[in-house]
Structure 1
């Protein structure tokens, strides 16, 4: 709870206590009862207008508050209370904040219906904007911005502009929320431009509550104007943990859409990626060694370019580490992905939000990871989502919908937790269906027997809905694991004799799927023959079940002799009661007769007897009441002639192998919507839903998000990796820009050159500031090859820019830098902070190349910072490394004041 809310509650409590002690009207018992009782009493009886006017004119603050509560209660019930507008407005200057809130709410509700009377309260609102209390100022601005009267919009815009620079975060937060209301009624382009300017100002606010409110207005005003987010992107990422829970949800939504439009898809495996820091020290050391080799090759080739070359490699990340955290084992899988430094900053900033107690924050973080992160990093969503299943039952359907969407993309990390999705007695139908579908996606050969024992309990339940859902779930598992079909078939066959028609129908549907899948022909023929006997004896009365059995009999005529022999008898039984059957059964009877006619030989005695019976059924279908049955009969009658082409074509179609049926999963369509939205929950695009933007094909310039490097690494202690990530991102952007159109490439290169020049200017200013104390030499002389001898230490300077890894200064661009050479190994020392720069360890001098060709001499300096002579520079005794005090001006620095330092 924020400080502003605590202060407001304390103020209200003190006012109520003060009114209780000093208030008039009624004895102390009645006042105590009104203090502790709820507001339900104000909805019970409809008051008279005369009584309300009398209480509003009273001097008692308690009677006024009671009258306003009764008025608000009647407004909630739908009664018109606008006749009391004048009586309410005259109490607007009351000192009670609670009463003032009720009056403000009343005025806002009837301002559009009574605009002339509402203008009387504008002066009071403007006066409250100058009140010393931040709660009063915030409340006045909130109510003033909700009054939709065009005549006062300039005043409202002026008030919002002034409040946007208020010293209190609560007032600035109210101003940020008011921007959306101002934009909705603004028609002038200048006003809209002013709203956008104020929005950019509030987005850059230092208070997280203000930025979250401004982000909410950003979604309402201009959700596609990402230019307002460039400068505050990194601040948003770093302030996620400081925002309140609902502010985190808003910021996650904004950052998700920003990442989709500014970065590339990290799951593209065919493109290279930047060499990034890894989670192991061995990989970090190999990366630094590769950087040293790159700089050494650029130095020995006498290249004049001062920018370090970027090494593009194919980065891989294993998902087995994340899986092993959950189940202790996992297969080694790796993918190549492209991840920008700012993209990595976003992902790392969102990870702590999975520990939030708010389910909305966890689902929003899962949505961002699902739509923006590499698929191998979805493993971090498993435990937080499973934790939400232990919360209230009302949110189980939402959480399971999100889990099912993630499972469709990456089911492996959920397999060890399959028991979390077992059915509970109190689960509703939507929750049961989602759980069974998740179980079917997580079923494997290893856990099937455990699932089989669990489903055996489900099918014996007293709740018929659970039995039907369990049978449907077994069908999904059997469709996923065909080798487990015999066990499923053995469990479902006894359910054919179930007393409930819906259970029998679902069992026949699943058995039909198992028969189509194939498998053991003997077991399949026995199953179909058993179903045929039951349907002939009229033991199965469900219409859908009988239609499915007739279809199975017709499909297996040419596969099994026993079924081919019993099929004509089955057709005879159904021909006798053809007129009493339903629509689906009639159509299947006609199709069964057609398949028998196509299969039998025309010259046999069986064919002659069957022909008469078949034509009898076709005659019945000709005069049937349902037009579908009549159409089916006419279609089959056209194929009676065995010499026609239609007979051959129909025989090929009906008696050929059928493909496996594709189950229609209604939840798959939900994956097209953003996870966590109402459209994703219902599977339809609801009003107000904005389609998720596609990934950017070309990465944007990282300099748009700030002049400094975008590197972010919690594991690194120095700044070298950060600088490397920044340079890598810039090089990556330029490399992709060159592949685009010429015009786009030129503009992109111009922007990069301007950004590079700005960075170099800042570096020059920084060197000049430090140069006042260090007095470094602006020029260097050449070092003769004869002066470099074995065992001698000479002060030299590197020809390329060296980056310092000191924690004191994140990025020290020093040129030249004092370097001590001892044989083939060198040790660099930063002139700013006396730290060893990254990339100079292990630098060796190439054979046959003099030091003068590679390095430049910086004459040694004495303790006062003055330059010594060449004779002093060639002294055999090594000079000790200068300290910070010596570099910054010698002993006289101790006498400087604190302000001068």
Structure 2
């Protein structure tokens, strides 16, 4: 609070006169005060650029605190005043040769921030020396500055050999320098289309050895870099995982999640099932521990856990109770937990899960209740032995007459009917009692499907459909499609009752609507019924494959890709980074003699199977080259089109 007095609007002329005052100031106290005022005004958005030359003159004062404020000022205004920023070059050259390593490091770092051509050119030689500086703080700062310089001028970095010097720093005695070098190389490879980094096992083990002495930030970057290592022999992946496992006990959630990602990655290169299972057991406790953090960290962990258990369901299989929702959990945490509870549910724990879901369905949060009700229905589809209990629970919820609960229940009961045909028709009467309360398209469509599917068993099915048809042209397309199919089913099953409804529905669908899907389906039904009623019956009433919850699973190739991005935004969005980050490099498992056969890549893509329901209304939805490891040699080789522009750093 003592610095709050500086955050007052200052006049340029007054600040300039104070800054250039010739009064005795041996400790430079007055200079510090004026610079603090300038930085405070700059922070508030006031234009302090007219003081550029006056502030630059303060760079000659050999006080670290003053230099920091001057550097901050230069970073802020160098883009708007590039010509004046060049005036600071002589002072920068002096600072990079200062006896104080902190001043040398700050000068190098600040020059790296300034995207001014002449300053970038002037930075090259000092940066060359800084990478070999005796002080490790200067070296680690210089390593990161190389990555910043690469953003300004890629060609300059490559031509001056900075990438080779970064590679040499991987063998530095100081672990912080190693971590920063790894971070810089990783950043450069991510931004470059020409440069890729690959680690051999010797370098990988050296990096793992430096973990204990690194900061949390450094550990995260070193662990991240291990994703660039591709095991080539049996036992390599297991040894690396054993060395990484202590990071799972770290207090920092980022370190833990990154360690989880690396272990998940190396599991793909393990040949023995017992080794994979052992590592899966190691992942459970740290993931449970992360869930004791705040809701934001919990949510990140939950989104990552959802990916992990789809690939390795044995992880957290015995920790179901951890995901039971607490009364004070935010809604986004509750919804994430519900999805994981459903994924982990099996015949042995489903009773506990169902009991929890019934409790959640009586809460006040609408979204949470909807998700809970839907999860009950999905449980019935997933686990056959619990279908009766789930139906009973859904009927109890329908009796509450809460509108949104009833509608969600009807939606999932439709799926249960499809999964278990001819088993639960006795509850149709109860469902029909709630027809007047349905106002959501999905619930209407579900109820209409039930009426059409069991038209011959519902006494007044034609009357129920006729009520819905009264507003056919005003209904959403989803409901119109259901009504069209249900009416045709009614006609096929009860010709006398449906003969008055079918012509007008087909006429509406083919002449009075604009939606091409609805119109085409109307024409198909019309031609089937008019040409060959027997064929129409065979098509419309054909036995359809039972649905399953496997359609909820993520596409295997996308899942494998997202698992390589655990602890990143990609794993939270559940989207490939290429969809929201420009020029992001794709990641995929690289072929190796020990790559698990279940993860083999065929022609750069994994095979994908899609199942189509036969009913018109219910369509359900490179070999990159072997990595040659050389434990005793670090080399730069040409790849791709064999031109010098494509570099692969084989470390």
With normalisation by structure 1, the TM-score equals 0.60
Contact 2:247–2:255 (8 Å) recurs in 1: yes
Task: Work out the CA distance in 1 between the residues paired with 2:128 and 2:485.
Answer: 77
Task: Work out the CA distance in 2 between the residues paired with 1:418 and 1:502.
Answer: 28
Matching residue of 2:611: none
Task: Work out the CA distance in 2 between the residues paired with 1:84 and 1:204.
Answer: 45
Matching residue of 2:161: 194
**Structure 1 residue matching 2:59: 3-state secondary structure:** coil
Residues 438 and 128 of structure 1, relative CA distance in 2, 3 Å threshold: same
Task: Work out the CA distance in 2 between the residues paired with 1:577 and 1:425.
Answer: 42
Indicate yes or no: 2:537 matched with 1:651: yes
Indicate yes or no: 2:585 matched with 1:690: yes
Residues 229 and 176 of structure 1, relative CA distance in 2, 3 Å threshold: farther
Among 169, 172, 176, which residue is 2:143 paired with? Answer: 176
1:128-277 alignment, distance < 5 Å: 128-186=95-153, 192-222=159-189, 225-226=196-197, 232-258=203-229, 260=230, 263-264=231-232
Query: How far 1:695 sits from its partner (Å)?
Result: 2.4
Query: How far 1:497 sits from its partner (Å)?
Result: 4.9
What residue ranges of structure 2 are gaps of 5+ in the alignment?
271-275, 595-625, 634-651
Cα deviation, 1:256-313, whole Å, max 9, x if unaligned, reads 122x3xx24xxxxxxxxxxxxxxxxxxxxxxxxxxxxxxxxxxxxxxxxxxxxxxxxx
Among 429, 449, 455, which residue is 1:529 paired with? Answer: 429
Matching residue of 1:553: 451
Task: Work out the CA distance in 1 between the residues paired with 2:507 and 2:88.
Answer: 85
Indicate yes or no: 2:632 matched with 1:706: yes
Number of residues paired by the alignment? 576
Residues 64 and 667 of structure 1, relative CA distance in 2, 3 Å threshold: farther
Task: Work out the CA distance in 1 between the residues paired with 2:185 and 2:261.
Answer: 20
Task: Work out the CA distance in 2 between the residues paired with 1:156 and 1:622.
Answer: 72
**Structure 2 residue matching 1:704: 3-state secondary structure:** coil
Contact 2:104–2:138 (8 Å) recurs in 1: yes
Among 384, 394, 399, which residue is 1:492 paired with? Answer: 394
Residues 91 and 483 of structure 1, relative CA distance in 2, 3 Å threshold: same
Among 628, 631, 638, which residue is 2:527 paired with? Answer: 638
Task: Work out the CA distance in 1 between the residues paired with 2:447 and 2:117.
Answer: 72
Indicate yes or no: 2:503 matched with 1:611: no
Among 49, 52, 57, which residue is 2:12 paired with? Answer: 49
Task: Work out the CA distance in 1 between the residues paired with 2:5 and 2:297.
Answer: 33
Indicate yes or no: 2:287 matched with 1:385: yes
Task: Work out the CA distance in 2 between the residues paired with 1:469 and 1:133.
Answer: 61
Task: Work out the CA distance in 1 between the residues paired with 2:593 and 2:500.
Answer: 73
Matching residue of 2:607: none
Task: Work out the CA distance in 1 between the residues paired with 2:188 and 2:437.
Answer: 66
Cα deviation, 1:133-163, whole Å, max 9, x if unaligned, reads 2211211221233333333445422212222
Q: Considering only aligned residues, what root-mean-square deviation do their CA atoms show, in Å?
A: 2.9
Query: How far 1:430 sits from its partner (Å)?
Result: 3.4
Residues 426 and 666 of structure 1, relative CA distance in 2, 3 Å threshold: farther
Among 680, 686, 704, which residue is 2:571 paired with? Answer: 680
- Select the structure of larger CA radius of gyration: 1
Residues 544 and 409 of structure 1, relative CA distance in 2, 3 Å threshold: closer
Residues 662 and 671 of structure 1, relative CA distance in 2, 3 Å threshold: farther
Matching residue of 1:103: 70
Query: How far 1:469 sits from its partner (Å)?
Result: 1.5
Residues 636 and 453 of structure 1, relative CA distance in 2, 3 Å threshold: same
Indicate yes or no: 2:349 matched with 1:447: yes
**Structure 1 residue matching 2:325: 3-state secondary structure:** coil
Cα deviation, 1:30-61, whole Å, max 9, x if unaligned, reads xxxxxxx2544444x32211121122123553
Could you tell which deviates more after superposition, 86-95 or 55-64?
Answer: 55-64
**Structure 2 residue matching 1:412: 3-state secondary structure:** coil
Residues 68 and 648 of structure 1, relative CA distance in 2, 3 Å threshold: farther
Residues 38 and 706 of structure 1, relative CA distance in 2, 3 Å threshold: farther
Task: Work out the CA distance in 1 between the residues paired with 2:136 and 2:221.
Answer: 18
Cα deviation, 1:373-392, whole Å, max 9, x if unaligned, reads 34322221110011011011
Residues 621 and 118 of structure 1, relative CA distance in 2, 3 Å threshold: closer
With normalisation by structure 2, the TM-score equals 0.81
Contact 1:240–1:349 (8 Å) recurs in 2: no
Contact 1:670–1:680 (8 Å) recurs in 2: no
Task: Work out the CA distance in 2 between the residues paired with 1:152 and 1:493.
Answer: 74
Task: Work out the CA distance in 2 between the residues paired with 1:466 and 1:191.
Answer: 54
1:320-335 alignment, distance < 5 Å: none
Residues 104 and 527 of structure 1, relative CA distance in 2, 3 Å threshold: same
**Structure 2 residue matching 1:460: 3-state secondary structure:** coil
Residues 514 and 130 of structure 1, relative CA distance in 2, 3 Å threshold: same
Query: How far 1:193 sits from its partner (Å)?
Result: 4.6
Cα deviation, 1:705-753, whole Å, max 9, x if unaligned, reads 239xxxxxxxxxxxxxxxxxxxxxxxxxxxxxxxxxxxxxxxxxxxxxx
**Structure 1 residue matching 2:460: 3-state secondary structure:** helix
Residues 149 and 455 of structure 1, relative CA distance in 2, 3 Å threshold: closer
Residues 616 and 681 of structure 1, relative CA distance in 2, 3 Å threshold: closer
Among 546, 549, 553, which residue is 1:660 paired with? Answer: 546
**Structure 2 residue matching 1:705: 3-state secondary structure:** coil
Cα deviation, 1:594-629, whole Å, max 9, x if unaligned, reads 11222236xxxxx2x642344345455566465466
Query: How far 1:118 sits from its partner (Å)?
Result: 2.7
Contact 2:308–2:315 (8 Å) recurs in 1: no
Indicate yes or no: 2:246 matched with 1:352: yes
Matching residue of 1:425: 327
Among 64, 72, 82, which residue is 2:49 paired with? Answer: 82
Matching residue of 1:362: 256
Contact 1:504–1:542 (8 Å) recurs in 2: no
**Structure 2 residue matching 1:232: 3-state secondary structure:** helix
Among 484, 487, 502, which residue is 1:590 paired with? Answer: 484
1:430-579 alignment, distance < 5 Å: 430-518=332-420, 521=422, 524-535=424-435, 538-557=436-455, 562-563=457-458, 565-575=459-469, 578=472
Residues 54 and 497 of structure 1, relative CA distance in 2, 3 Å threshold: farther
Cα deviation, 1:318-374, whole Å, max 9, x if unaligned, reads xxxxxxxxxxxxxxxxxxxx6244x34321221110111010000000000111134
Task: Work out the CA distance in 2 between the residues paired with 1:378 and 1:124.
Answer: 56
Query: How far 1:253 sits from its partner (Å)?
Result: 1.1
Residues 184 and 627 of structure 1, relative CA distance in 2, 3 Å threshold: closer
Task: Work out the CA distance in 2 between the residues paired with 1:112 and 1:533.
Answer: 70
Query: How far 1:701 sits from its partner (Å)?
Result: 9.1
Contact 2:487–2:501 (8 Å) recurs in 1: no
Task: Work out the CA distance in 2 between the residues paired with 1:91 and 1:189.
Answer: 31
Task: Choose between structure 1 and 2 for higher RCO, CA contacts under 8 A separated by at least 6 residues.
Answer: 2
**Structure 1 residue matching 2:424: 3-state secondary structure:** helix
Residues 567 and 148 of structure 1, relative CA distance in 2, 3 Å threshold: closer
Contact 1:142–1:178 (8 Å) recurs in 2: yes
